[in-house]
Amino acid sequence: MCGIIGFAGNRNAVPLLVDGLRRLEYRGYDSAGVATANDHGIHVQKCAGRVAMLAARLGADSAPGTLGIAHTRWATHGPANDRNSHPHVARFGEFEVAIVHNGIIENHAALRRSLAAAGAVFQSATDSEVIAHLLARHMHGDLADAMRQVLPLLNGTYGIAAICAQQPDCIVGARLGSPLVIGIGAGEHFLASDANALAGRADRVVYLQDRQLCVLSRDEFRVLDFDQSPIDAAVETLDFGSTTDDKGDFEHFMLKEIFEQPEALENAMRGRIDDANATSHFGGLNLSPKRLRQVDRIIMTACGTSYHAALVGEYLFEELARIPVEVEYASEFRYRNPPIERNTIVLALSQSGETADTLAAMREAKRKGHSTLAICNSVGSTIAREADGGVYLHAGPEIGVASTKAFTAQVAVLTLLALYFGRLRHLSAAQGEKLINELRAVPELLRRTLRCHEQVRTLANRYGDAANMLYMGRQYLFPVALEGALKLKEISYIHAEGYPAAEMKHGPIALVDENTPSIFLISNGPTVEKVLSNVEEVRARGGPVIAVACEGNDEIVERLQSCADDIIWIPNAPEYIQPLLASAPLQLFAYHVAQLRGCDVDRPRNLAKSVTVE
């Protein structure tokens, strides 16, 4: 969620810190701030609103110094205003400390009462400010030692960066449940919550692990455990490839990323198809075929859009691999204590690889001795590092907060995994070859699907004033209905719900009226007649109907033309591939509705790209 960037070097820190904040804007935030330290003390500038507003407030000399920390906040405790923005500063005796913090301090209320009774004066309503007061009161000349004493007092999760006016040559960081990465430059060092903030600044990084401290100065960095024992941390090469901040000819990152999906699917499949054995293969599963052959059950755990991709995966694995699958919200799974059979694998899905609930659910599964696999897009992320094995999406950077290409890439990887497990079990070579040929055709089919862009723009103009919408599909397209409704909610703020089409008459049909459009996803599969009947039921009650349907069936064409107000045709494809095609028109529809309503498409209100708190 929140973003942290710190710098220690010889250059003016402010431009580097502001640039780092801009690179973190995609994560979602509501305020921003900078603190620098020099021989004259700590200089702070912060405000609610965008990084551009902060940059406008910062004059050339308003926050001088070659060492500093900066932050983009996503409100958890206290509203989004200047006072609650980070950094937070506290003074005690001769010492002045500033901190930025990602995460949640669960015992902040008790700490606040204790500190206030001892004379501390709080300037904000945040949980984070208690960290600054505690550090100032435990400071006796060594900020790292003060941090070591304070951390046992904190319950919750944190990524912390701190500076002290009386020790203006170092930044101290600490991590527990919220990511931090050290960037190693030439005669300078960075600390960030996300490696994206380091693009073009550092080509080597160290990923902090939970319960580790770091101390950065211009000339060196140290990694320590919470007892301040030195740790020999692994230095990794950072490779960003193409730039992450260029929209090209597109007005928004989200639209650009929707149209990048064919290429993203090609990248997700590249090198993972084994024609000789009519299967797929992966280099990072780290579990032998014999072990995978023994799997009796798969639990997929995820949140949000990744949860919807996992629901598609449930259909894929049960049909192609004949393995029972259970899909769990990570936020629920981590607190349940379900019986899990011995030969069960837990598969965690997270675009960022830092989703707090998914990470906690995966750790709980590992604690109980189950093998874990991860599917994520962010190389070096916590989930990717801690899972027993896994698969990267290779979808490229996704800047828009509302996920698009990561969703389809997740579904593509799940399809390849289902093929792999299926070939280990019952699928014949001929069946595997057929599946491979069908998968290879998907990127081009998706390019054809995206030709509906102008038609969808027209539909957005027609229905963009609706207060509520219903999305319905069956089988493989039911999770796509959920995802389409989520996209509309996320970026246009229109209330929308997704349902299995057959469930409509068990309650949601009560919502149908002339002002509530229903979007039906219609495949050429075995349930098509049932879904067409549902369409006619909505139409009979005066509800507007938008159909997203497969070409190639004259009977479907004729029936839909008589009962649907608008039809978006997508290329005919096997049922298990249709989620990869049907999702694109729904993404475009949400995009254009949001644009027409004047919403901030790439940075929707209240949302964050990487949800690192509960």
pLDDT digits (tens, 9 = 90+) for 466-509: 999 999 999 999 999 999 999 999 999 999 999 998 888 888 88
pLDDT above 70: residue 222: yes
The reply to whether 162 and 190 lie within a common domain is: yes
The reply to whether 19 and 91 lie within a common domain is: yes
CATH of the domain at 14: 3.60.20.10
pLDDT above 60: residue 63: yes
Q: How many domains does the chain fold into?
A: 3
The reply to whether 481 and 348 lie within a common domain is: no
CATH of the domain at 533: 3.40.50.10490
Instruction: For the sheet with 468-473, list strands across it.
Output: 495-500, 468-473, 518-522, 545-550, 566-570
Any bridge partners for residue 326, and if so which? 299
**DSSP 3-state percent helix, strand, coil across the chain (nearest 5):** 40, 25, 35
Pick the last residue of a domain from 210, 237, 264: 237
The reply to whether 485 and 455 lie within a common domain is: yes
pLDDT digits (tens, 9 = 90+) for 425-439: 999 999 999 999 999
Task: Give the pLDDT score at 613.
Answer: 61
Rounded average pLDDT over 266-295: 91
The DSSP string of 271-294 is T-EETTTTEE--SS--S-HHHHHT
Pick the last residue of a domain from 387, 415, 440: 440
Task: Give the pLDDT score at 239.
Answer: 67
Catalytic residue among 46, 256, 489, 609: 609
Contacts 24+ apart (CB under 8 A), 456-459: 456/568, 456/585, 456/588, 456/589, 456/592, 457/588, 457/592, 459/546, 459/566, 459/568, 459/589, 459/592
The reply to whether 460 and 587 lie within a common domain is: yes
In the residue annotation, 47 being an active-site residue is answered as no
Task: Give the pLDDT score at 62.
Answer: 63
The reply to whether 228 and 296 lie within a common domain is: no
Residues 6+ away with beta carbon under 8 Å from 87? 33, 34, 35, 44, 46, 69, 70, 71, 98, 99, 100
What angle separates helix 304-316 from helix 477-492, to the nearest 10 degrees?
A: 170
pLDDT digits (tens, 9 = 90+) for 315-332: 999 999 999 999 999 999
pLDDT above 50: residue 242: no
The reply to whether 367 and 460 lie within a common domain is: no
CA dihedral 122, 128, 134, 137 (to 10 degrees): -50
The reply to whether 293 and 389 lie within a common domain is: yes
Residue 376: which domain range? 246-440
Residues 6+ away with beta carbon under 8 Å from 465? none
Question: What average pLDDT does the structure give for the chain?
Answer: 90
Is-contact 180 208, C-beta < 8 A? yes
In the residue annotation, 563 being an active-site residue is answered as no
The reply to whether 230 and 283 lie within a common domain is: no
The reply to whether 89 and 201 lie within a common domain is: yes
The reply to whether 154 and 179 lie within a common domain is: yes
Rounded average pLDDT over 7-29: 88
pLDDT digits (tens, 9 = 90+) for 383-405: 988 999 999 998 888 888 899 99
pLDDT digits (tens, 9 = 90+) for 140-170: 989 999 999 999 999 998 999 999 999 999 9
pLDDT above 50: residue 243: no
Task: Give the pLDDT score at 397.
Answer: 84
Among the listed residues 359, 11, 449, the one whose alpha carbon sits nearest the alpha carbon of residue 187: 11
Task: Give the pLDDT score at 404.
Answer: 96
Q: How confident is the model at residue 64 (pLDDT cuts 50, 70, 90)?
A: confident
Residues 6+ away with beta carbon under 8 Å from 308? 407, 479, 480, 482, 483, 486
Full-model pTM: 0.84
Pick the last residue of a domain from 417, 440, 463: 440
Q: How confident is the model at residue 1 (pLDDT cuts 50, 70, 90)?
A: low
Distance, in Å, from the CA atom of 116 to the CA atom of 122, rounded to the nearest integer, reads 8
Catalytic residue among 2, 170, 452, 550: 2
Q: Which strand (E) or helix (H) includes residue 254?
A: helix 253-259
Q: Looking at per-residue confidence, does 268 or 537 come out higher?
A: 268
Q: Looking at per-residue confidence, does 537 or 374 come out higher?
A: 374
The reply to whether 490 and 472 lie within a common domain is: yes
Is-contact 270 394, C-beta < 8 A? yes
Is-contact 479 311, C-beta < 8 A? yes
Rounded average pLDDT over 185-201: 88
The DSSP string of 519-572 is EEEE-SSTTHHHHHHHHHHHHHTT--EEEEEESS-HHHHHHHHHH-SEEEEE--
Q: Which strand (E) or helix (H) includes residue 215?
A: strand 212-216
